[in-house]
Amino acid sequence: MHKHYYITTPIYYPSAKPHMGHAYSSIIADFFARFKRIDGYKVYFLTGTDEHGLKIQRAAKSKGIETLKFCDQISKTFKDLSKTLNLTNTDFIRTTEPRHKKSVQHLWNELVKNDDIYLSKYSGWYSVSDEAFYNEDEVEEIEGKKLSITSKSSVEWVDEESYFFRLSKWEKPLLDFYKKNPDFISPEPRKNEVINFVKSGLKDLSVSRKSLSWGIKVPNNKDHVIYVWLDALTNYISALNYPNNDDNLFKKFWPASIHLIGKDILRFHAVYWPAFLLAANIELPKKVYGHGWILSGDEKMSKSKGNILDPIKIIKEYGIDPLRYYLIKEVSFGNDGNISQERLEDCINSDLANNFGNLCQRVTAFTIKNCQSKVPIKIKFNKDDLDILDKYKNSLEEIRIKIDNQNINFYIDYIVNSLFEANKYFNDQEPWKKKDDLLRLNTIIFTSLEIIRKISFLLYPIIPDSSLKALKIFNLKEKDINLTSIGKNDFLTKGNNINKINILFNKIEKKND
Ligand code: MSP
């Protein structure tokens, strides 16, 4: 029986072109998806676009384009970006698709059936940019403008008939759930924020808008459209064809293993979403992880602040793998991270070109010259060889646990250390001085080749293309990569050919050198 893993990214607003913050969420999700796949899981990896609501309607209007056409155009740039980022998403959902609409309306009816929705009137603040309602104490006035204190986006006054979800009723069940499932919200500091918010008292939530047409209609009342967050969150189950289970997708993959999101949308995912699910008698996801922001200077990178680093431009200049590596390594996962082109170049030169690329080149060149381009056949490991090789087997279980706790920082440190040790091993063992002791020379080469193979497997979730290029040394393909085999010291077939490969990473001439 296969183990299943379901990972989701937030679905992005196609109000403007994607930026580095979006690329970040997606790359991290892809890292987990690939890791789990090479560890034998059947993975469902979902991403997509969140296309309803006032924000999108206004963005389309300001460009003078019909709303759906506008969504088609920008959603396509997100879909194209998935390819450019080399994502292995299983599905790309758009909330304007009929499959999604069906699920949302079904969920709505379930909430009505269970008496969790009632008609009343909403009077209060609304931020179109966040698509969020704010209480009076969450709003401040700066230079005559009303702003949300947390997001700094402007809010407007809304006074209209609205359906409400009985969120208040779920306050206690939510707190019980957090207690019973201490890993549900990660990382830890975010969990405390959410719990404090819920403890401070939940008010019923407005879940429909009357003054808006761009959305999914409330069943049985065409004057209202469903609140865009209730609509958007449902994507996580509509993609699995909820409530239909003919293809077993929902049964196999729900509850989600992890919803990966940015910390700014934690409340929606860790409070509203579980409350909707509880009310509809649907199991809750196993985890919601709120990652930090990519900063530009000290500010969150965002369209409205105009401080966007364009991922496409960076990829054109440096390639996708360096960007993936850089974001995964330099933005300490869970925290905010500042990124700069200079640091990216340092990463390419030191880690990728010097430590990984060079190791591959040196060892293959030596093997081609001194071992007839073959994986050595006669070998005899000594303690030095076994020390370095066995480390992988001994850390396999720890790596799995760390990844299940989203400890990407551990994973990348592990790789950086492994590369350091591998280079040190090759230098210290000095195979070039062992030409009169062929058994030793062959053993050092075999060990070095095995280490390159193991590290390339581990690098696959981070820099998939480069890892596959490196594995061409051994004629290994994507289907050959599996995590368990990093514990093996004799995975390579003795006597097999060793191939020369192209340079993996070109060094960057630093502009200020
Ligand atoms: N449409 C909603 C999500 C609905 S999920 C059911 C939304 N979209 S968004 O396009 O504004 O943001 C999508 C994700 O990108 C969020 O997780 C957000 O945190 C993330 N990022 C946006 N800017 C970011 C940075 N500068 N840095 C890192 N991630 C940030 O919210």
Best probe residue, ligand 1, of 47, 265, 293 (max atoms within 8 Å of C-beta):
265
pLDDT at site 478: 98
Q: Which string of DSSP letters, residue by residue, matches 105-156?
A: HHHHHHHHHTT-EEEEEEEEEEETTTTEEE-GGGEEEETTEEEETTT--B-E
Nearest alpha carbon to residue 284 among 258, 260, 255: 255
**In 3-state terms, what secondary structure has residue 508?**
coil
Find out whether the beta carbon of 294 lies less than 6 Å from any atom of ligand 1: yes
pLDDT digits (tens, 9 = 90+) for 230-289: 999 999 999 999 998 778 999 999 999 999 999 999 999 999 999 999 999 999 999 999
Ligand 1 midpoint to CA 282 (Å): 25
Q: Is 51 in the pocket of ligand 1 (CB under 6 A)?
A: no
The residue to mutate among 8, 9, 12, 94, having the most atoms of ligand 1 within 8 angstroms of its beta carbon, is 12
Query: Is 332 found in the same domain as 408?
Result: no
Residue 504 tokens read as: 């993996």
Measured in whole angstroms, how far is the alpha carbon of residue 25 from the centre of its chain? 4
- Does residue 26 form part of some domain? yes
User: Which pLDDT score, from 0 to 100, does residue 258 have?
Assistant: 98
Do 321 and 468 lie in a common domain? Answer: no
Residues 235 and 310 in one domain: yes
Rank 1-10, 364-373, 500-509 by mean pLDDT and report only the highest: 364-373
- Are the beta carbons of 280 and 230 closer than 8 angstroms? no
CA of 89 to the centre of ligand 1 (A): 17
- Residue whose tokens read 């239909």: 244
Q: Is the CB of 262 under 6 A from ligand 1?
A: yes
Number of domains in the chain: 2
Please list, in sequence order, all residues whose beta carbon lies within 8 angstroms of the beta carbon of residue 225, skipping any fewer than 6 positions away: 52, 208, 209, 212, 213, 214, 215, 216, 217, 218
> Are 412 and 318 in a shared domain?
no
Nearest atom within ligand 1 for CA of residue 50: 1
Ligand 1 centre distance from Cα of residue 463 (Å): 23
The CB of 273 under 6 Å from ligand 1? The reply is no
Band (pLDDT 50/70/90 cuts) for residue 2 is confident
Cα of 17 vs centre of ligand 1, distance in Å, is 12
For residue 266 and ligand 1, the question of a CB distance below 6 A is answered with no
CA distance 52 to 49: 9
Same domain, 250 and 328: yes
Pick the last residue of a domain from 294, 319, 338. Answer: 338
389 plus 252 within the same structural domain: no
CATH number at residue 412: 1.10.730.10
The overall average pLDDT reported for the chain is 95
What is the Å distance from ligand 1's center to 81 Cα? 15
Residue 424 lies in a domain: yes
Closest CA to ligand 1's atom 30? 21
Is 214 inside any structural domain?
Answer: no
In tens, the pLDDT along 186-196 reads 999 999 999 99
The predicted structure's pLDDT at residue 175? 98
9 shares a domain with 110: yes
Q: For ligand 1, what atom is nearest to the CA of residue 300?
A: 26
Any ligand 1 atom below 6 A from CB of 259: no
Which of 8, 17, 22 lies closest to 75, judged by CA? 17
- Asked if residue 18 is part of any domain, the answer here is yes
Same domain, 384 and 479: yes
β-bridge mates for residue 91, sequence order: 46
Structure tokens at 179: 């207690």
Whole-number pLDDT of residue 452: 98
CA of residue 264 to ligand 1 center, whole Å: 7
Pocket of ligand 1 contains residue 25 by CB under 6 Å: yes
CA distances from 264 to 31, 218, 493 (A): 21, 27, 50
Domain stops at, among 295, 320, 338: 338
Binned at pLDDT 50, 70 and 90, residue 307 comes out as low
Which range among 143-147, 305-309, 486-490 shows the weakest confidence by mean pLDDT? 305-309
Tell me, yes or no, whether 317 and 352 share the same domain.
no
Question: Does residue 371 sit in the same domain as residue 254?
Answer: no
Which atom of ligand 1 is nearest the CA belonging to 301? Answer: 26
Q: Is the pTM of this model over 0.85?
A: yes
Residue 181 lies in a domain: yes
In a domain, 494, yes or no: no
Cβ neighbours around 449 below 10 Å, total: 23
Structure token pair of residue 298: 């000290």
Q: Report the CATH number at residue 334.
A: 3.40.50.620
Contact by Cβ (8 Å): 464, 38: no
Separation of CA 226 and ligand 1 centre (Å): 21
Instruction: Assess whether 94 and 59 both reside in one domain.
Output: yes
How far does residue 262's CA lie from ligand 1's centre (Å)?
6
Q: From the CB of 50, is ligand 1 less than 6 Å away?
A: yes
* Measured distance CA(500)–CA(368) in Å, rounded: 8
In the block, which residue shows the tokens 């909330």?
Answer: 95
**Quick one: 320 and 373 in the same domain?**
no
* Domain extent at residue 39: 3-116+170-198+228-338
